[in-house]
Structure 1
Amino acid sequence: MMAAADAHWSADARAAEEALFGDTLACEAVLPAGFVPGGAANASRAEALLLGLARVEDLRGGDDAGEDKRGELPLLAQRLDAKLDLVLALLARLVRQSGRPLPPVPLRWSVRGLRLRLPERAEPPAAGTAGAVCLQPADWLPDELELPVVVAACDRTGDAVQVWLRFPDLPEGLEEAMGRHLFRMHRRQVAGARRR
């Protein structure tokens, strides 16, 4: 995603890319996400969501083994796990039907910030604009993670608008929880690449 477009990016966009992702773990994914200019985010709620997500993934053996670890669970636990998957999928579907779902967008994410593609024909926000980024951190979890951000740069290449969003100083607990979540995402991506 980065290599093809970065030659066309402005100097500000390239500087933002280096500031947000240079010398730190970053994950690329396609997730339901969006930027809300002027939006507010609750750091303690975001931290609680990431910590709860980590606990569930630990209990499910969810890092890179996925379905392989399920076979090691007792049969009753496997049944409960499968039922929980079904209930969460149903709940996610109901939540999406009741509101406007976030569109899946390509993004790059580190503990310093995100780069994401805005919808076509979106008005590029000005650098320095404060707001919130909303994203769905797990496909099975029908809840959105809301994080405070400031626009570091914005760049239009053809119809695509990329925006670089940096996190302001976050509470230490939230930064640690996000770092652990990104590490888990990275491990899953590496495991998925190995299986191909």
Structure 2
Amino acid sequence: DETGPHAAALARLDAKTTLIIDLLGQWLAERDGSPASQPLSWSRCGARLDHGEPAKPGDCGILSLQPAFWLPIRLELPVEVIASQPDHDRHRLWLRWLGMSDPVRNSLERLVFRLHRRAIARRQRNPSI
């Protein structure tokens, strides 16, 4: 219950836990280095990315992504190609998440929202980004 008598204490605990995880992630990223980044648009429903190899609708696979450089954990998500379009030497792929339970989908939606809000805040602080 987000309005119960312990809501404020739980919110503070959640914020502290998030800070610890962020700091640990940044430290691990600095220590281990980060993989090369690739542009990706994603949502609670799926993702769109440019890929070097063609794929056809119905193809399935695993999308491995690291949502933020400071987050040392890679997400391995099962996907299905729902559309593909050649784009110069790349192929634009639209992917749909497979076999994702509602709690996982809701967690992913919260993560995407949080990253989106951070990107907006970063642009507001530094409009040249």
* TM-score normalized by the length of structure 1: 0.50
Structure-2 change in CA distance of 1:140 and 1:92 (3 Å): farther
After superposition, give the CA deviation of every residue in 1:98-157 in whole Å (9 maximum; x if it has no partner). Answer: xxx4x4211110111000111xxx330111011111000221122210111100011112
User: Is 1:113 matched with 2:43?
Assistant: no
| Rounded Cα–Cα distance in structure 2 between residues aligned with 1:143 and 1:162 | 25
Going from structure 1 to structure 2, the CA distance change for 1:90 and 1:192 (only over 3 Å counts) comes to closer
Unaligned runs of 5+ in 2: 1-13
- Identity score, percent: 36
Q: State the shift of 1:173 in Å.
A: 1.1
More helix by share: 1
Q: Distance in 1 between matches of 2:73 and 2:93?
A: 23
Contact 2:83 2:93 in 1 (8 A): yes
**Cα shift at 1:177:** 0.5
Question: How far is the alpha carbon of 1:175 from its aligned partner?
Answer: 0.4
Q: Which digits, 9 at most, give the CA deviation of each residue in 1:54-81, with x for residues without a partner?
A: x68853299xxx9xxxxxxxxxxxxxx5
Against the structure 1 CA distance between its residues 57 and 182, is the aligned structure 2 distance closer, same or farther, given a 3 Å change threshold? farther
Report which structure shows greater RCO (CA 8 Å, sep ≥6).
1
> Which SS does the other structure have where 1:105 is aligned?
coil
Q: Is the Cα–Cα contact under 8 Å of residues 130 and 151 in structure 1 kept in the other structure?
A: yes
Counterpart of 1:88 in structure 2 is 28
What amino acid maps onto 1:88 in structure 2? L
8 Å contact from structure 1 (residues 92, 140) kept in 2: no
Tell me how many residue pairs correspond in the alignment. Answer: 113
Find out whether 1:183 has 2:113 as its counterpart: yes
Matches within 5 A, 1:17-56: none
Q: Which residue of 2 aligns with 1:59?
A: 18
State TM-score, norm by structure 2: 0.74
Query: Which one-letter code corresponds to 1:60 in the other structure?
Result: L
RMSD of Structure 2 on Structure 1 (CA): 2.7
Corresponding letter in the other structure for 1:155: Q
Following the alignment from structure 1 to structure 2, what is the Cα–Cα distance between the partners of residues 59 and 160?
Answer: 37
Gaps of 5+ in 1: 1-54, 67-80
In structure 2, which of residues 102, 106, 111 is the aligned counterpart of residue 172 of structure 1?
102
Distance 1:194 1:57, change over 3 A: farther
